[in-house]
Amino acid sequence: MAWLREEKGVVLVLVAAALVALLGFGALVTDVGLLMLNRERVANAADAAALAGAAFLPENPAAAVSTAQEYALKNGAQPGEVNVTVGPDGKSITVDAVHAVNFSLARALGFTASTVSAHARAEVGAVSELYGAAPLGVREQSLEFGRLYNLKVGGGAGEHGNFGALALGGHGANNYEDNLREGYQGWLKVGDILETETGNMSGPTRRAVEDRIRGHESCTWQHHCRDCPRVIYTPVYRVVGELQGRSQVEVVGFAAFFLDGVTGSGNDCYVQGYFIQKLVSGARGIGGDDYGLRTVKLVE
pLDDT digits (tens, 9 = 90+) for 10-63: 444 444 444 555 445 454 556 567 778 878 888 999 999 999 999 999 999 999
Q: pLDDT tier at 8 (50, 70, 90 boundaries)?
A: very low
State the pLDDT at residue 16: 47
pLDDT > 90: what percent of the chain?
67
State the pLDDT at residue 100: 80
Reported pTM: 0.82
Residue 274 has pLDDT above 90, yes or no: yes
Q: Which of 89, 122, 155 is the last residue of a domain?
A: 122
| Mean pLDDT in residue range 163-170 | 97
DSSP-based three-state secondary structure for 205 = helix
Q: Which residues have CB under 8 Å from 201's CB, separation 6+?
A: 163, 165, 173, 176, 177
Torsion of CA 176, 268, 148, 198, to 10 degrees: 30
State the pLDDT at residue 102: 60
Residue 166 has pLDDT above 90, yes or no: yes
Residue 282 has pLDDT above 50, yes or no: yes
Distance CA 208, CA 20 (A): 74
Is 186 among the domain residues?
A: yes
Q: Which of 90, 122, 154 is the last residue of a domain?
A: 122
State the pLDDT at residue 204: 96
Is 127 among the domain residues?
A: no
Q: Does residue 88 share a domain with residue 50?
A: yes
Closest CA to 122 of 71, 79, 80, 73: 71
Distance CA 67, CA 124 (A): 15
Residue 297 has pLDDT above 80, yes or no: yes
Angle (CA) 146-149-150 rounded to 5° is 160
Among 94-98, 105-109, 209-213, 254-258, the range scoring the smallest mean pLDDT is 105-109
Domain that includes residue 150, residue range: 132-298
State the pLDDT at residue 259: 98
Q: Does residue 150 share a domain with residue 268?
A: yes
State the pLDDT at residue 71: 95
More confident: 268 or 16: 268
Chain-centre distance for alpha carbon 206: 31
Q: Does residue 136 share a domain with residue 106?
A: no
Helix segments in the chain, DSSP class H: 2-54, 61-74, 173-182, 202-213
Question: Within a 10 A sphere around the Cβ of 171, how many other Cβ atoms?
Answer: 14
Is 116 among the domain residues?
A: yes
| Mean pLDDT in residue range 72-82 | 89
Q: Does residue 244 share a domain with residue 141?
A: yes
Q: pLDDT tier at 76 (50, 70, 90 boundaries)?
A: confident
User: What radius of gyration, in Å, describes the C-alpha atoms of the chain?
Assistant: 30
Q: Does residue 50 share a domain with residue 92?
A: yes
Closest CA to 237 of 135, 140, 162, 161: 140
Angle (CA) 149-289-269 rounded to 5° is 20
Is 189 among the domain residues?
A: yes
Q: Which of 93, 122, 151 is the last residue of a domain?
A: 122
